[in-house]
Structure 1
Amino acid sequence: MQLTGAEILIECLKEQGVNTIFGYPGGAVLNIYDALYKYQDDIKHILTSHEQGAAHAADGYARATGKVGVCLATSGPGATNLVTGIATAYMDSVPMVAITGNVPLALLGKDSFQEVDITGVTMPITKHNFIVKDVRDLAKTIRRAFYIAQEGRPGPVLVDIPKDVTAHLTEYISEEPRKVQKVTQYITEEDIKNALNLLQNCEKPLIYIGGGVNHADANGDLVVFAERVDAPVCSSLMGLGGFPANHEFFTGMIGMHGTKTSNLAATKCDLLIAIGARFSDRVVSKMEGFAPNAQILHIDIDPAEINKNIPTHHHIIGDVKEVLKRLNKELTQQQNKEWIEQIKDWKTKFPLGYAKDGNLKPQYVIERIYELTDGDAVITTEVGQNQIWAAQYYKFQKSRTLLTSGGLGTMGYGLGACIGAQMGKPEKQVINIAGDGCFQMNCNELATAVKYNLPIIVVILNNGVLGMVRQWQKLFYDKRYSQTTLEQPTNFSKLAEAFGAEGYDVLVEEEFDEIFKKALASKKPVVINCVIGKDDNVFPIVAPGTAIEDVITEG
């Protein structure tokens, strides 16, 4: 049948199982929005307050559900406003398709009104991008974009469509989506045999997991593997939830804000098993001092990550879940009793903790959020101290329950992601943990949450400063607090009410439980402004350029 390009786009989205997209209209996408009007019973469009919010919402939707997130923006500034969200998704391997409009074909390259070369702009921050110049190529391009976003290591794909292409007519024939195959072709029997040899001949193994475990939904296989290897498990920020935080083998995060136990274990282990992790600078710190006594076994889906940051002794390239299944099938039960006892001793000697001085503490707030939600919420965060406190004190048990900008470190990410996650997981309580600086970046998305009556909760850890940057100024810049003291007079609870949400202020610990329970029962967007001290800092911390065992503690 003959359809316009805009109608073909929507039909292709339906083919891919898309029922929710996030976007903001404009001149170059008017034909697409007209088609969305006709298809509104099939696809729900969420109108965000800003295109960056749409990108973060699509990202949060994808992370929470495992599906491809979709965002839509017009040409020029609409497209460039997506860039930070696309880069955020790229750094954290999030499957997303960003669709942008552009000026008509005859006006491309002529500095036309609201024209920008968005494929050129986004080339370094997408897995692939396309500009569709012939309506006959549109359907196959959309189908290919969704496949690329999901295959292998996931990531964002951009499709740019000139306005007249969305108006042109051509024949449309529906197709079943091409099934995404797991990456298993590089896994050999020799790889498995060599890995088993390492696992069966070590005495102090340590498993280090990253976001790849969560992307592969491999947490169940990982528990079996860790118990069979008889090895402790530490995690990068992005790996949290990939292994139950209440398991006796879990030692917490590793690296710059890792626990002393995890960092000591990495320093003393004789075999480091990295699974779905990329040895980022925040984990490794001083490269030449990382895991100095260990052989490295690296399991990852992306061959580009092998030997990129840390040289390995052996590696297996493939889907993490499939590799773990094959190893578990062959691996006999190992016994590393002395090593496990050493780990338990370190965990007892060096627990996470914070000073309780009668004031409202951010760590206390996170602990109570965990307890009052029975650990069953989906948590989004902004970036900085709020992010690390959430990572340290909320005990993540399952994959896809921590949504945070780990690679790019995007302030303003959390609220948009919270909206997207709530749309994707309406049965879950979704909570955004924010700092006051981050919240001000994209607080306009509260209007979106109110418009769609989403029962999200935003908890602001408000210290009146840019906390993490100020902490670095305190520790490493002789307390020269240049432009990090905010102390703005904005009343966040009143601001929430102005948007149509509920707003509360919490000044002391005794108030938090009552107000948080109100928020849980509200079924409306709620903002809880928790006033904390500006000198409440994140510990442990490893100074940049030092070995990870050189941990600075609050003491």
Structure 2
Amino acid sequence: MTGAEALVACLKAMGTRRVYGVIGTSIVGFLDGLYQARDTIRYISCRHEQVAASMADAEGRLTRRPGVVAVHSGPGALNAMIGLANAAKDCSPVIAITGAIKRRLQGCDGMLELDHVRVFRPVCRATFRVEATYEIPAVFTEAYKAATRGPGGPVLIEVPEDIWGDRDDVTLDALDLTPEPPPPVEEEAVRRVAECLLHSARPVILAGGGVAYSGGEDLLKQLVERWPIPVATTGNGRGVLPEHHPLSLGRAGYAGGTPMADEALKRADFILAIGCTISDMTTYEYTWPIQADIIAVNLDADNDQKKLPITAIAADARAFLAALVDAVASLSVEPRPTWIDELAPVRTMWENLLQSMRAPDRRPFSPAYVCHLLGQMLPEDAIITVGAGMHLLYPSDFIPCRRPRTFLAAVNFGAMGFGFPAALGAKLVYPERTVIAVLGDGDFMMTVQDLETAVRENIAVKILVINDNAYRVLAFRQRVQYQGRVHGSVHQNPDFVRLAESFGIKGWRLTTSDEVETVLSEALALEGPALVEVVTDPEDIPPTNLEAVMRMSGM
């Protein structure tokens, strides 16, 4: 068996359906192996390695089976690093396969040489180098277990170019893809959490990506409805309780948090963070005044890195919720009234602000109305992906999440260039579902070349480009914090409609509210990919918790 055949056999055993990548001399042998397996594994050729890595990241988030990306040695691998860092920060299982120079040339400081194992170690959960063909099943086993262990994350396997064609005795008996079990749920820990929920006057549950990734949303709903407890979420936890549910406060924290969720965390006397911790994102860089006792139930062991006192419980979110639901049911205690009504004035203020922003006759024309109307038109299982920048506030504010894992963002790394490739990956995973990338113009321009990938591979994503000809969140900050010295944050763009059409994609431009419903209906009904540009006034500031943002920015 050759090295390429051995690695492809490992991917087949894992259930891999797609590999994303950009070809290079150091992996052309691997691509030949994928060619031989093309009936079972689809290779998606991308136009940039960051795109390939983010497509694999989206697949990892949605399926919890590691997404796979293959890149060239050196420059190709480094181009993929941003995508792998997003996956690391948001606990998405990804296996990155990178080529390397031939073994006889290692250590010569030659062209394309890079110590991937060392360079990627701070970003990945683990990094590996294949030294001989027969090692591949054992190395893949370790990589798979590292990628899926605990909360999940990216790993890297470096394979020298000459191994792809090297033939050796390879046994797949060394391949073990049995998932490692999570830590056992301790009965005493469950009892302690139940008592805290029972005896606190203003409890809040902060539900994170761990609830979504483990499929614990049904148990969360049972728990909070049994003892009416308000629920805020992190960015990756959106939808674990439908955001129209009366106990939902929406997302908390920077880049999309609602004032209700933020205010609840401030007023709470006990916070149960489940499937997450209390991070800089949740607390506006630890400037939001949270005084509650905090217990965090999470598989990620990074609570000691946080700047709030946290009692940590290492457990799978779904397993812990199951035990907690049973514990609560066994208590002969009458449910108390929820304290969520104390937040009614905050909710009313927020809803009034949203209503005024999304009015169709509002001037200047705002993406708020477009996203509000889009949210009403979309099915419940539609997937929204976003980039980084002010544009993401529009779908955060005006398109409610009704299911988990339907809002994908580079939440904890904040890299631009994630939204479009994530939409491509999501549509390949779920071709029957509507997938929409809501992007800022600056964000879209970083991955625009892969419109060609969407056309070639017939990936029917819909793209909403919010075009203000600026890095608007930075221009806004320069105006407010730096006395109006706007510098380096305003630019010009191509004609996005004509650009889309040059790739063979149907495009529309919206400048007023008159045609929004018609254009959105046509774009959604189109069988292939489609692009809608929303011309946006740079002064249009979407609703956010401005008090918290100003505090965080030192203003």
Q: Is the 2:93–2:147 Cα contact (8 Å) retained in structure 1?
A: yes
Q: Is the 1:454–1:523 Cα contact (8 Å) retained in structure 2?
A: no
Tell me the distance in 2 between the aligned counterparts of 1:255 and 1:475.
Answer: 21
Q: TM-score, normalised by structure 2?
A: 0.94
Q: Is the 1:206–1:233 Cα contact (8 Å) retained in structure 2?
A: yes
Q: Which has the higher contact order (CA 8 A, sep 6+)?
A: 1
Tell me the distance in 1 between the aligned counterparts of 2:42 and 2:51.
Answer: 16
Per the alignment, residue 15 of structure 1 pairs with 13
Per the alignment, residue 85 of structure 2 pairs with 87
Decide which moves more: 334-343 or 241-250: 334-343
Tell me the distance in 2 between the aligned counterparts of 1:288 and 1:467.
Answer: 23
Per the alignment, residue 510 of structure 1 pairs with 514
2:293 to 275, 285, 295: 295
Matched to 2:249, the amino acid is T
Q: Does 1:52 align with 2:56?
A: no
Structure 1 residues 303 and 334: alpha-carbon distance in aligned structure 2, compared to 1, 3 A threshold: farther
Per the alignment, residue 171 of structure 1 pairs with 169
2:488 to 456, 466, 483: 483
Structure 1 residues 167 and 150: alpha-carbon distance in aligned structure 2, compared to 1, 3 A threshold: same
Report the CA distance between 1:288 and its aligned residue. 6.8
Please give the secondary structure, in 2, of the residue aligned with 1:444.
helix
Decide which moves more: 316-325 or 74-83: 74-83
Per the alignment, residue 434 of structure 2 pairs with 429
Deviations 1:275-322 (A, max 9, x none): 122222222136375322x2212111123325733212x432100000
Q: Does 1:459 align with 2:464?
A: yes
Report the CA distance between 1:374 and its aligned residue. 3.0
1:443 to 441, 445, 448: 448
Structure 1 residues 531 and 110: alpha-carbon distance in aligned structure 2, compared to 1, 3 A threshold: same
Report the CA distance between 1:74 and its aligned residue. 1.4
Structure 1 residues 344 and 336: alpha-carbon distance in aligned structure 2, compared to 1, 3 A threshold: farther
Matched to 2:520, the amino acid is F
Matched to 2:429, the amino acid is G
Report the CA distance between 1:181 and its aligned residue. 3.6
Q: Which runs of 5+ in 2 are unaligned?
A: none
Tell me the distance in 1 between the aligned counterparts of 2:463 and 2:549.
Answer: 35
Please give the secondary structure, in 2, of the residue aligned with 1:265.
helix
1:111 to 109, 112, 127: 109
Deviations 1:190-244 (A, max 9, x none): 1111111111111111111222221212111111121123111112222212221
Decide which moves more: 220-229 or 402-411: 220-229
Per the alignment, residue 496 of structure 1 pairs with 500
Q: Is the 2:380–2:403 Cα contact (8 Å) retained in structure 1?
A: no
Please give the secondary structure, in 1, of the residue aligned with 2:514.
helix
Report the CA distance between 1:495 and its aligned residue. 0.4
Tell me the distance in 1 between the aligned counterparts of 2:431 and 2:6.
Answer: 29
Q: Is the 1:224–1:328 Cα contact (8 Å) retained in structure 2?
A: yes
Q: Does 1:381 align with 2:386?
A: yes
* Residues paired across the two proteins, number: 545
Q: Does 1:189 align with 2:187?
A: yes
Please give the secondary structure, in 2, of the residue aligned with 1:374.
coil
Report the CA distance between 1:543 and its aligned residue. 5.7
Tell me the distance in 2 between the aligned counterparts of 1:69 and 1:503.
Answer: 30
Please give the secondary structure, in 1, of the residue aligned with 2:306.
coil
Decide which moves more: 120-129 or 335-344: 335-344
Structure 1 residues 221 and 339: alpha-carbon distance in aligned structure 2, compared to 1, 3 A threshold: same
Tell me the distance in 2 between the aligned counterparts of 1:457 and 1:301.
Answer: 35
Q: Pairwise mapping of residues 179-328 of structure 1 onto structure 2 (< 5 A)? A: 179-185=178-184, 187-256=185-254, 257-285=256-284, 287=286, 290-292=289-291, 294-305=292-303, 308-312=306-310, 314-328=311-325
Matched to 1:317, the amino acid is A
Tell me the distance in 2 between the aligned counterparts of 1:464 and 1:245.
Answer: 32
Deviations 1:431-456 (A, max 9, x none): 10000111111100100000011110
Q: CA RMSD in A?
A: 2.1
Tell me the distance in 1 between the aligned counterparts of 2:239 and 2:169.
Answer: 46
Report the CA distance between 1:546 and its aligned residue. 6.7
Per the alignment, residue 401 of structure 2 pairs with 396
Q: Is the 1:65–1:425 Cα contact (8 Å) retained in structure 2?
A: no
Structure 1 residues 7 and 324: alpha-carbon distance in aligned structure 2, compared to 1, 3 A threshold: same
Structure 1 residues 118 and 334: alpha-carbon distance in aligned structure 2, compared to 1, 3 A threshold: farther
Report the CA distance between 1:21 and its aligned residue. 0.7
Tell me the distance in 2 between the aligned counterparts of 1:205 and 1:474.
Answer: 39
Matched to 1:502, the amino acid is K
Q: Does 1:348 align with 2:352?
A: no
Per the alignment, residue 471 of structure 1 pairs with 476
Structure 1 residues 431 and 545: alpha-carbon distance in aligned structure 2, compared to 1, 3 A threshold: closer
Tell me the distance in 1 between the aligned counterparts of 2:554 and 2:244.
Answer: 23
Give identity over the alignment, percent.
Answer: 28
Q: Is the 1:272–1:291 Cα contact (8 Å) retained in structure 2?
A: no
Q: Does 1:539 align with 2:538?
A: no
Matched to 1:15, the amino acid is A
Matched to 1:273, the amino acid is L
Structure 1 residues 344 and 306: alpha-carbon distance in aligned structure 2, compared to 1, 3 A threshold: farther
Tell me the distance in 1 between the aligned counterparts of 2:511 and 2:3.
Answer: 55
Per the alignment, residue 122 of structure 1 pairs with 120
Q: Is the 2:303–2:312 Cα contact (8 Å) retained in structure 1?
A: no
Please give the secondary structure, in 1, of the residue aligned with 2:296.
strand
Q: TM-score, normalised by structure 1?
A: 0.94
Structure 1 residues 388 and 551: alpha-carbon distance in aligned structure 2, compared to 1, 3 A threshold: farther
Structure 1 residues 132 and 479: alpha-carbon distance in aligned structure 2, compared to 1, 3 A threshold: same
